[in-house]
Chain A
Amino acid sequence: MAKTATKFSPPLTPHQALLLWASAAITAIPVTGHISVLLAIELWLLLAWRVAQVGWRKPILPRGVLVLFLLIGPFIVTNGMTQSFTVERGASLVPVMAALKQLESRTHRDAFVSMMLVSFMALVTFLFSQTIVTALVAGTGILVAMAVMVSIHSPAHPNSRPLRVTFMLALQALPFMLVLFLTFPRNLMPLWTLPPSASRAESGLKDWMSPGSIGELSLSGETAFRARFTRTVPPNQQLYWRGPVMTNFDGRTWRGPVPEAAAMPRLAPGKPVIDYEITLEPHNSRWLLALDMPVSLGPGAFFSRDHQLVSRTPVRTRLRYSGQSVLFPAADPELPPEALGPMLQLPTSGNPRARALAASWRKRHTDDAAIVKEALAYFTRQGFVYTLNPPGLGSNSVDDFVFNTRRGFCEHYASSLTFLMRAAGVPARVVTGYQGGELNPIDNYLVVRQADAHAWAEVWIRGEGWQRVDPTASVAPIRVLAGLATALPETDNLPLLIRQDIKWMREFRFRLDAITNGWNQWVLGYNTQSQQRILSLLGIQSPDWKTLAIYSSLLVAFFMLILARWATWPQRSRDAGLRAWLQLTRKLARHNIPHHAWEGPLDYAARVSARREDLRSDIHHIAQIYAELRYGASPSKQQLRTLEKLIRKLTP
C-alpha cells in the first residue's frame, strides 16, 4: 500500500462511532440546563439522529441539511437578544456544533475533530457551571473521547481495552495536572477583552423591600454565603449580617438611596474586633455583607453614608473577602440635622392610625429611648405572630399590619417599626441582610442560606448614635437564637435543607456542604493567596514566577522520569543470560565475527576460535557455561555470575 493521497483516512468502526457519540452525549448532559430551550432541543435531536444513523444505518445527512441545522443555532441565539453579545450566548453554540460534527463523522480524521469539539464543549460547560458533579460528568465525556483516539490506533481488541488504557493515562496524567495547577500563576489579568460574561445569579437579597419580599427568600435553601471566623464564632443572636440599607418609603416599598462613598463610621471605642472571611455567592448587585458593624474595608469596596459596605463593581462571580467588625456598637453619636432629615421622611399621606399611635407615644415620652422601648413592648403585648404566610395587606400596609392582621414576617415588623419611629420623630432606617447561620462542624464554616434573610431596623438616639432594634427578637426571640426552622410552626413551608428534625439529613447536609465548600475554596477559588499558602506549606516562601517556573519544570521532569522508568521496566526482566550472551555477540560483531541466528553457542565458539586463535579457550569456556545455563538441567545463579564476569572481561 503506497502512501497515496494524504486525504485518505480510514473509516470508523461502528463501535468507535458509538463510543464517539457517547462522549458527545455525556459531555452534553451538564450543559443542557444552561443553554436556551430551543438550542437544547436542537442539540438532543441531532444526537438522537446520530444514534439512528449508527444503530440502524440511516443515511448520512447531506451537507445542505447539516448547514441548515448549523444556521438555526445562531438564529436562535440572536433572536431574543436584547443586550449585547455575551460570551455565554456565543459559547452555547459549541454543543450544537459538536453534535453536528457527530453526524458527519465517518473517518479517523473526523473522530479527531470531534474529540476537539467535545473538549471545547466541556470548556463551555465550565463557563456556566463549575460544580463537582459537572466536573465529573464532563471529565467522563472527555475520557471517552480520548478512548476513541486510543481505539483508533489499537484496533481489533476487547472493547473495554481502550477505556482501560485511557483510564490509566488519566491516572498517569494526574501528577502533571496537580503540579501545573498548583504552580500556575494566578494573577494574570484578563489577557484581552472578549464579549463580557453574562450575569449568572438569579435569586437573593434585593435592593428594595416590600411585604413578602423577604418571606419568599425563605423558600430557598441555597447558600447565600459562607463565613469563617479566625477565633470563636459569636453566638447566633449576635450574628447580624448587614446588607442593603433602605431609607425611602413610598407606603409599601422601602428603597435605599444609590450608595455613594462616604467616610468610615465613627464607633464607640473599646469593643473587641472580630476577624472573619466571607465567601459570597454571586448576586449581581453591589451590596456586600459584613457583620454588624464593619470597621475595615477591602479593595474594591467603599462605605456608604448609611454605613453599608458596597462593592465598586457588581458581584458576578463568587467573591471571597475578609472583614473586621465590632459587635453592635453605636455609631455616629452626633449627626447634623441635614443628615437626619432623610431618616425622618415619610410619605405625605397614608397609615393614619399608625401615625396617631406614634404621636401618642411622643406625647407621653420625651426621651427617644423610651419611645423605642414602648414600641417594642407594644409588639410583644399585642399578641403579634411571626409567620411566613401572613394575610395580604392593603394600601395602608402599616395600619393593616399593626392593627388588623398582626401576623407577619420580619419585613413587616421592620417596616412598621421604622414607620412608627419616624412618625414619632425618631430617625430610623430599615436594614436588610441575613441573621444567624449554621455552623458546619466538619470544616468550621458558617453557612448562611437565603432562608436566613432578615430585616431589622436602626434608630438614632441623640448622644448614643445609631442602634440596632430588631422587633423580631421581641416577638419571636427563638428565631434570632436558633434560626428560622425553630421559629416557625411545622406547617409552614420550609426548604428541606434547613429542616432540623431529620438527624441523618443534617449529617448528610453537613458533609455535602463541607465537600462543596472545600471545592469552592481550593479548586475554584484557587488564587494567588491560596497558592502562597500551599507553597509555604512546602517551604517555598513567596516565590516569583521565575522560581515557580523552575520548580514546576523540575517536578514535571521528575514525573516524566518516573513514567520513563515505568515504560522501560519490563525490559529488565528479560533473561539475564540472554542479555549477557547478546553483549558478547555485539562485542564480537564489532570485530567482524557476528553471531548468525542459526548457530548454537558451541558452534559459534568453534567458528570464533577458528578466526581468532587467541580467544579459543575463553570463548569455549563462555559457550560451555552459556549452553549449560540455557539448556542444562539445573542452571544456577553462580553460573550466571561467572558468565557475566567472563563476558565482561573478554577483550577481543
Chain B
Amino acid sequence: MDYSFAKISLRLRNRLFRLHGTQTEPIVIGHSRIYLIPSKWGVIFGSMLMAMMLASINYALSLGLVLTFSLGGIALAGTMRGFRNVLGLEVRHGRTTPVFCGTPVVFNLVLRNHLPRMRFSLEGVVEDYVSPLLHLPAKESGELAIQVPSQTRGWVTLPWVKLQTCYPMGLVHLWAYVRPNLRVLVYPQPELQAPPLPPTPGTQGAQTIAGSGAEDFNGLRSYQPTDQPRHIAWKVVARDGPMLVKQFQGVAGGKVTLDWANLPDSLSVEKKISRLTAWVCKAHAQGASWRLVTPEVDLGPDRGESHYHHCLTALALHGKNSD
C-alpha cells in the first residue's frame, strides 16, 4: 500500500464523498451529491462582516448592523442560487481521441442543461487541471474538456471529475463529483531517434533507404508530432508559414515487415514497443504498406488509417490484459 500523502488524501476524499467505481449515465446531479464550502474570498468576506458587526456594536450603529446582516443575507441567498446553478445538471460522456504517450489525454464531457435558465461558470477539475469556464444556455448542451496527463501506454480511464462552480459571487464553492464511464487509449511513445525502417525483403540490393542524402523529395505534408525535426521544412516556417514536413519518396509499393523478433535483444520490452511504434508511424507517413508481427498479433500487410490505428492499438495494449 502506498502511504504517500497524496495517496492518503485521495483515499480520504473517496471515502468522504462516497466515490466508488463509475457512475451510470445519464448522471443527474442531485441535491445529495452537491457539497459546498466557502471559498478563500468567502472567508475574507466573512471576516469583513465580522469586523463590521463588531464596529457597529461598539459605536451603536443600527444601520451598520442592518448593512452587515443584509450582506450576510445576500451571501446566503447567493449560496442558494449557486446551488440551483448545479442542481439537475446532466452529465454524459463525450468523444475522445487516442493520443500518444506524453501528450495530455483529453476527455470530453457533455453537459446538458434542462432548465429554462442559463447555468454559469461551470468548470471541471481533476487534480491539477482546471477546465475553461462553461456557461450553458437554457436547454442546451455544452462540452467540458478535461485534460489528464498520460504517463504510460494503454487504457486511461477518466478519474473522478469535480464539477464545480462559484456562481454567483465567488464566495462559495459548490461542487459535485461525476465519473462517466470514459476511457482513452494512449499509444506508446515512439522512439525519438529511431533507426530507419527495416529493408523490405526481396529488394535488398536496390533502393535501400540509407540515412541522409539519398532520398528523393516527394512533397510537403503537415507536421505530425512524431516527425523528426530534421525533416521539417524550416524555410517555410521562417517565412511565417505553417509547420510542414518534407516527404521523401518511400519504397513505393514496397511492403515492410516490422518484426518483433528482429529487434536486438539488448532492448527492453518497452523500448521494443517504442521502436515498433516509431516505425509504424514512419511507414504510415511514407504511405507504404506494412506488416506488424509481435508475439501477440500479426497484422497486415496493409496500409491506411485503420491499419495504422489497429497496429498502434495492438502495440499499446501489448502485455496488458484485455479490458
Write the residues of chain A forming the contact surface with B, with a CB cutoff of 8 angstroms: 1-3, 87, 108, 112, 116, 119-120, 122-123, 126-127, 130, 134-135, 138-139, 142, 146, 149-150, 152-156, 165-166, 168-170, 172-177, 180-181, 184, 188, 190-192, 194, 197, 317, 523-526, 560, 563-564, 566-568, 570-571, 574, 582, 586, 589, 594, 597
Contact = CB atoms under 8 A, between A and B. Distances in A.
A1 B168 contact: no
Contacts of B87: 567-568, 571
Tell me what chain A mostly uses at the interface: helix, strand, loop, or mixed.
helix
B24 A589 contact: yes
B268 interface: no
Interface of B: 24-26, 28, 31, 41, 44-45, 48, 52, 54-67, 69-74, 76-78, 80-81, 83-84, 87-88, 92, 114-118, 120-121, 128-132, 135, 147, 166-170
A526 B63 CA distance: 10
A563 B116 CA distance: 19
Given A2-B128, A184-B69, A317-B60, 20 more contacts: A1-B132, A120-B48, A123-B52, A123-B55, A126-B56, A126-B64, A127-B59, A154-B120, A154-B168, A174-B73, A176-B72, A177-B69, A177-B73, A180-B65, A180-B69, A524-B63, A526-B62, A560-B80, A564-B83, A597-B92
Given A123-B56, A563-B80, A571-B88, A153 B66 contact: no
A1 B70 contact: no
A571 B69 CA distance: 30
B25 A597 contact: yes
Contact of B117 (A126, A190, A570, A597): A570
B142 to A, nearest CB: 13
Nearest to B145: A1
Contacts of B72: 173, 176-177, 180
Contacts of B84: 566-568
Contacts of B77: 168-169, 172-173, 176, 563
14 contacts: A3-B129, A3-B130, A119-B48, A119-B52, A127-B59, A139-B67, A154-B135, A190-B57, A192-B58, A194-B58, A194-B59, A567-B83, A597-B25, A597-B26
Contacts of B64: 123, 126
A381 to B, nearest CB: 54
Contacts of A568: 31, 84, 87
Nearest to A565: B80
Contacts of B70: 139, 142, 170, 173-174, 177
B63 A130 contact: yes
Contact of B59 (A87, A149, A172): A87
Contacts, number: 168
Interface centre among B25, B64, B67 (most CB of A within 10 A): B67
A256 B21 CA distance: 89
Contacts of A150: 168-169
Given A119-B71, A154-B121, A3 B62 contact: no
B73 to A, nearest CB: 3
A118 to B, nearest CB: 11
Nearest to A117: B48
A142 B52 contact: no
Contacts of A597: 25-26, 92
Nearest to B116: A570
A530 to B, nearest CB: 10
Contacts of A526: 62
Contacts of A138: 67
Contacts of A175: 73
A119 B80 contact: no
B48 A177 contact: no
A115 B155 CA distance: 48
A123 B80 contact: no
A46 B214 CA distance: 73
A589 B62 CA distance: 58
A168 B71 CA distance: 13
B80 A567 contact: yes
B63 A170 contact: no
Contacts of B56: 123, 126
Nearest to A562: B80
